[in-house]
């Protein structure tokens, strides 16, 4: 189901950013590394997904993604943001709800600018898994 939901978003999107164009913070938060499709959230609070800082033309854009949270990962506060530094449209995932979560965020770019999407672990985690395959972008 996880792969099917992501495939549908990819097919319907104008632009598809696969997981491997994003970065993730290392567990000690000292550096950024390539983002894997399955993220281990163990470690301190940090950005689990960050990037890709690619230019989008002016207008309103919808970013759509699906996250798969294990039970342990769902017991940590997680937020998703989309926009451009320093302003973002933000969604807080429901606390304690494992499984698939589809998130749709919209942001209006007044001029061509570098777009950013992030998933933020807001409190330290000891274990868990978060599945992330990419982000579909659609002009609204």
Q: Tens digit of pLDDT for each residue in 25-34?
A: 866 656 688 9
pLDDT category, 85, cuts 50, 70, 90?
Answer: confident
**Token pair of 55 as six digits:** 């230019």
Identify the pLDDT of residue 94.
97
Quick one: average pLDDT of 2-9?
95
Q: Where are the domains of the chain?
A: 2-139
Burial class of residue 51 (count of CB atoms within 10 Å of its CB; 0-12, 13-18, 19+):
buried
Mean pLDDT of 114-127: 95
Q: Which CATH number fits domain 2-139: 2.60.40, 2.120.10, 2.60.120, 2.70.98?
A: 2.60.120
The rounded distance, in Å, linking the Cα atoms of 95 and 112 is 35
Q: Is the pLDDT of residue 84 over 70?
A: yes
Residue % of the chain over a pLDDT of 90: 87
Q: Quick one: DSSP state of residue 50?
A: E
Do the Cβ atoms of 23 and 67 come closer than 8 Å?
no
Mean pLDDT, all residues of the chain: 94
Return the structure tokens found at 70: 């294990």
């Amino acid at each position: 189901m996880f792969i099917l939901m992501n495939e549908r978003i990819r097919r319907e999107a104008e632009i598809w950013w696969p997981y491997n164009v994003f970065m993730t913070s290392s567990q000690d938060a000292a550096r950024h590394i390539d983002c894997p499709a399955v993220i281990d959230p163990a470690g301190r609070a940090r950005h689990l997904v960050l990037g890709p800082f690619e230019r989008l033309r002016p207008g309103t854009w919808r970013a759509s993604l699906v996250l798969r949270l294990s039970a342990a990962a769902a017991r940590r506060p997680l937020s998703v943001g989309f926009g451009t530094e320093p302003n973002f449209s933000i969604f807080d995932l429901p606390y304690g709800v494992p499984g698939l979560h589809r998130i749709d965020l919209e942001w209006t770019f007044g001029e061509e600018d570098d777009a950013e999407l992030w998933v933020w672990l807001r409190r330290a985690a000891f274990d868990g898994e978060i599945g992330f395959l990419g982000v579909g972008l659609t002009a609204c």
